[in-house]
A and B are shown apart, each in its own frame.
Chain A
Amino acid sequence: MKNYFLVLGIVLIAAVMMSSVLFVGGQSTLQFYLSFHDPTVDWGQPMKTGLADAAKEFGFKAEMIGPTPMDAVKQLEQIKTLVDAGMVDGIGIAPLDAKTFLPYIDELMDKGIPVVTVTSDIPESKRLATYGQTFESLEKISYDQAKMLIKTLGPDPKGDVAILNVLPDLEGLIMRENGTKRAIAEYPGLNLLGTYGSTIDFDKCYADIEALVSVNPNIVAIFAEDATTTPSLARVLRDKNLNDKIKSSGYDMTEESLLFVKSGNLDILVGQNPYAQGYLSMRALYEYIVDGKKPVSVDVEPEYADKSNIDKVLEAYGIK
C-alpha cells in the first residue's frame, strides 16, 4: 500500500511537470523570459499580464521567472540555467541590484542574447534598452510625490514625518527614499523621525507602524515607499482613526491600495505602470529579433491616484 502511495506521488509530480510542457508548444516559436525579483509579489502580476498580452499579440512565448523570496544569486542562477540550456531567445531583467547584474548582462549581450532591463535600469551595461524608470527618475518621482503630499499640509508645514521602507538596502527603494528626503529637507518645519517598517511580513509591518504612531503624537505625514508598507500604513490609519491627522502616500497600484485611496485611508498613490513595462519590453525583444528594429528605451510615466481621480483609475483597472 505504501509502495503504491509513493509511486502515485511520483506519477503525480510527473503529471504536473508534463502538463506544463504540453502548454509550451513547439520549439520553433521565439521564447522570451522576464526575470523578476520575485514573481509572487502582487505588484508584479500586472507585469505578467503585460508580457502575456504581448506574447499573444505577436505570437511568441514569454514567461516570468524569478526566485521567491527575492535573492540575487538565485535570480542569476535561474537565468544561467536557461541560457546554458539554449532556451533563451531574448530576456528582460529586473535587476535586484546594479553591481551584481551588470557583468552578467554584458556577458549575455556578448553571447548574442538580446537583453533589456525592466523596472530599474543599469545604464552602464550593454543592455539594448530599458522599460521602467532609471534610478534617477525613481528619485525624482518620489520627490514629486512627497512634494504633492507636503503641499496638503499647508503653506508652512510643521511637525514630525516618517518614511516607511520594506527593504532599505534595495537600490530602487534607496532612490525613492532619497527623493522623499530631498523634498522633506526643503521644509525646515518638518522633522524626519527616521525610516521604519523594514519587514516583508504584513503583520510585523502593521505592528511597527502602529508603534510609530502611538509614541509620536506629532506626526503629520508618513511616506510609504513600497507595496508592503503602503497598505499596512493605510490599515493603521484607518484602524486608529488617524486619517484627519496624518497625511499619507504610498506606492504601487494594487487593488487593495487603490481601494484605500477611494475610502480616504491613503491620500496619494503612485504606480510605475508594471503592465506597460512587461508589454513594452517583450514587444521590443520580438521586434528586434524579427524586424531588426533597435529597441528604444521608454521611461515609463508613473501613474498617480488621489481622491480627485480615483474613480477613473479604478475603472481603468477594472476594479469595482
Chain B
Amino acid sequence: MFFNVNKLKKFRFRELGILVAFIILCIMFTIIEPRFGTLVNFLNLGRQISIIGILAIGMTFLIIGGNLDLSIGSMFAFTSTITAIMMVNGINPIIALLLGLILGGICGFINGVLTTFGRIPSFVVTLGMLNVYRGAQLIIIGAIPINVAVGVYGNVQSSKSADIFFFLGKGRLFDMIPMLFIIFLTLWLAGYIILRKTAFGFHTYAIGGSPEASYAAGINCKWVQTGGFILTGVLVAAASILQLAYLGTVTGRIGVGYELEAIAATIIGGTSFSGGVGTLAGTLIGAAIMGALRNGLVLVGVSTFWQILTMGIVIILAVALDVRTTRKIKLEN
C-alpha cells in the first residue's frame, strides 16, 4: 500500500528502495527548510559526500568479494601524511600525489597478501593494520599538524603544479561544481565499469558468492582478492590526498572513524556482508543518504545529540525499505 511495486515495473531495479528513501528524505527536508533544496546546498552536499564516497567505492569491491578493511581510516591518515611531508620537502605536488597513490596501493597490497596468502581473516588483518598505520603516522608526524598550503597560509612553494594540486581539492568547474565531486563521480564511474564490465569485477562477485566454486572454476581467487585490496588502497590514498588538497593540512586526528562511515554507505546501498551481492549504484545512494541526513539535520537545527539518534533510525529505515522492495521484486520475478 505504501507504494505499489507493480506500477513501477518499468523502473524495477535493486536500488529502488533506497532511492525512494533518499528522495523522500530530500523532499521532507526541503519542506521543513526550503534552503535544503537549493542548488548551492546540493552542490555542497555533493562535495561533502565525495571523500567518504571514494572510500566506499573500494569498500564495496572488498565486501562483494567477501572481505572487509577496517584500516582505511588509518591508511587515509598515513598516505596523506607522507604526501604532505613530500610536498613540504620540495617534491613537486603532482609527483607527490602520484607517489602517494602508489603508497596507497602498497598498503592495500600488504593488507591483501596478509589476508589471502597469509590466510588470516581480513577482519583480523585490517584490525591490526588499523593500529599499525595510525601508529606509524603519529610516530612520523610527531603529533604536530603539517600545513601544505601555498603562500601566506602555508609552506609550499607556489607553482603551476601546486595550483593544479589545490584546484583538484578546492576548485570548482564553471565556477560552480566542486572538483571533489567531479573526481568522485569519475572514480565512481570507473569503479562501476570495472565491477560490471570486466572479468575482474565478475570474478569479484563470483568469489564473494562462493570461493570454493570460483576456485573450482579456475579463478585465481588470491590475486583477485588482493587486487581488491590494492584498488581500495589506491582509492584511500586518492581520497586522503584530495582532502589534503581541500584542507591544506594534515593532523594526527584525520580519518578517525572513516572506515565505519564507508562501511555504512556500502551496506545502506544494499551490499551484503555475506559477499557476492551489491552494486556501486547502491553505494552512491547510500553515501548520498548519509550526506543528506548530516546536511539536512544541521540546516533544520536539530541538536547534535538528536542528530546522532536520528541518523541511526533513518539508516535502519532506509535499509528496511530497501530489503522490503528487493524482496518484492524477487517475488515478482
Contacts and interface: CB of A to CB of B under 8 A. Distances in A.
B137 to A, nearest CB: 10
B304 A68 contact: yes
Interface string A66-77: 111111111011
Contact of A86 (B35, B149, B300): B35
A13 B314 contact: yes
Interface stretch (A18-26, A205-213, A259-267): A18-26
Q: How large is the interface on A (under 10, 10 to 19, 20 to 34, 35 or more residues)?
A: 35 or more
A189 interface: no
Given A16-B310, A81-B41, A7 B2 contact: yes
Interface in A34-92: 39-40, 63-74, 76-78, 80-82, 84-87
A169 B297 CA distance: 30
Contact of A21 (B2, B144, B149, B301): B301
Contacts of B29: 17
Interface stretch (B89-97, B98-106, B200-208, B253-261): B253-261
Nearest to B154: A99
B68 to A, nearest CB: 22
B143 A97 contact: no
A290 interface: no
> Looking at chain A's contact residues, is the secondary structure mostly helix, strand, loop, or mixed?
helix
B248 A20 contact: no
B276 interface: no
A316 interface: no
B177 to A, nearest CB: 14
A3 interface: yes
A6 interface: yes
A300 B200 CA distance: 61
A39 B307 CA distance: 12
A168 B32 contact: no
B306 A16 contact: yes
B143 A40 contact: no
A108 interface: no
A230 B319 CA distance: 41
A102 interface: yes
B41 A99 contact: no
A63 to B, nearest CB: 7
Contacts of B210: none
Given A16-B310, A85-B38, A99-B153, A10 B247 contact: no
B287 to A, nearest CB: 14
B141 interface: yes
A100 B247 contact: yes
A81 B46 CA distance: 12
Given A69-B256, A103-B248, A169 B301 contact: no
Contact of A69 (B1, B33, B153, B257): B257
B302 interface: yes
A168 B143 contact: yes
Nearest to A14: B28
A167 interface: yes
A102 B143 contact: no
Most buried by B among A21, A68, A97, A174: A97
Contacts of A2: 324
Contact of A174 (B24, B144, B317): B144
Q: What 6 A-B pairs are tightest by C-beta distance, nearest first?
A: A169-B252, A169-B143, A3-B2, A85-B35, A99-B147, A39-B304
18 contacts: A3-B2, A13-B310, A18-B32, A40-B305, A64-B304, A65-B298, A68-B304, A71-B256, A72-B253, A73-B243, A74-B294, A84-B44, A85-B41, A87-B35, A97-B145, A99-B248, A102-B153, A169-B145
Interface of B: 1-2, 24, 28-29, 32-33, 35-36, 38, 40-41, 44, 48, 51, 138, 141, 143-145, 147, 149, 153-154, 243, 246-249, 251-254, 256-257, 294-295, 297-306, 308, 310, 313-314, 317, 320-321, 324
